[in-house]
Structure 1
Amino acid sequence: MAQIPSQKRSKTRSEVRCYIGLGANLANPVQQLELAIAALHQVPLSRLVAVSSLYGSKPMGPQDQPDYVNAVAALDTTLLPEQLLDALQRIEQNQGRQRKAERWGPRTLDLDILLYGEQIINTERLTVPHYGLKQREFVLYPLAEIAAELQLPDGTVLSSLLEQVALNGLQKLHSSCS
């Protein structure tokens, strides 16, 4: 896990700690995540505070695609949830992401807002906590690496979820390049 040094700046709104899931399985996935982490440093009104190690995981859904590389980042931001979503989608597009109808298909980069503070959000564009957060080993284990004591908005303790979710071939690849 990499801890990022804090940066001083003026605050207009109070910062919210967000957790972002990163995943890629096309076009050199490790490099895609490294570029995404560099781009997260540039998100306006935000500060990258931690990044998990990179993990290798089997694909969800169709198995006729390459394995994924995943990580989780902690970001403090004053952006509103949908502003943060817009910023993440710009990063995806800049790295060649093309949104297709196929769910769980291969992709150059996938950035998901897993948690936005303690908020529960359910809009047409955004569901937070992320709907798959509690079941996905490739999210839970990297998240636990950077936020071991985390409690979800519904009161669930992260460590209790780890006891219920199998590794399913998840492997730590190496520390991130934050």
Structure 2
Amino acid sequence: MIEGIFLLLGSNLGDKKKLLNSACSIINSELGPIMGRSSLYETAAWGKTDQPAFLNQVIEVNSALSAAEVLKCINNIESRLGRVRTEKWGARIIDIDILYYGHEIIETENLTIPHPGIPDRRFTLAPLVEIAPDFIHPVLRKTNTELLARCSDKLEVNIIES
């Protein structure tokens, strides 16, 4: 069982809160038990900014699945919840990213862990710090708290529900 698998969930279309809750329910039953959940955060869109604000949440999961199997599982969950991939950083009904897979460093054609965007995205770091402030990024050797303090992203990230 791998502990400390951190996933970022996001949605900016439809009933965002319901979609995040549905994703969590499926993850808990098919991937492994959810050990921690951040508050819900609202953030302006990052990358492609002419779209609705996102609701984001970070969860911590324990799973017996390999990182590749976790990726396959979350892609399947996204599809089941209605995600259709059309454009990079475009609006989406659900998005699930693997941030950390324990303390492993993985570089394959389809998967890079830790997620390369972690240090540059406040909407990822704020909820990560809430549930895992002292978790050490295995490549950068900094805690999530240290990464957030150094993050240059100035997008506003607001807790909307604890």
TM-score (norm 1): 0.86
- RMSD between aligned alpha carbons? 1.2
Greater gyration radius? 1
Structure whose residues are more often helix by fraction: 2
CA distance, structure 2, for counterparts of residue 78 and residue 41 of structure 1 = 12
Q: Matches of 1:93 and 1:36 in 2, distance apart? A: 11
Q: Cα deviation per residue 1:25-52 (whole Å; 9 max; x = unaligned)?
A: 01121111111111111124x2110110
2:159 is aligned to 172
Name the residue aligned to 1:29.
16
Query: 1:75-94, CA deviations, whole angstroms, 9 ceiling, x for partnerless residues?
Result: 01110001011111111001
Displacement of 1:15: 2.7
Gaps of 5+ in 1: 1-13
Alignment of 1:3-152 (within 5 A): 14-44=1-31, 46-100=32-86, 102-152=87-137
5+ residue gaps, structure 2, are: none
TM-score (norm 2): 0.94
Shift of 1:59: 0.4
Secondary structure class of the residue paired with 2:120: coil
Distance 1:34 1:138 in 2: 18
User: SS at 1:42's partner residue?
Assistant: helix
Q: Which letter does structure 2 place at the counterpart of 1:81?
A: A
Superposed structure 1 runs of 4+ greater than 4 Å apart: none
Question: Per-residue displacement from partner, 1:58-106 (whole Å, max 9, x unpaired)?
Answer: 1012222100000100001110001011111111001100012x21100
- Number of aligned pairs? 160
SS in 1 for 2:93: coil
Tell me if structure 1 keeps the 8 A contact 2:37–2:59.
Answer: yes
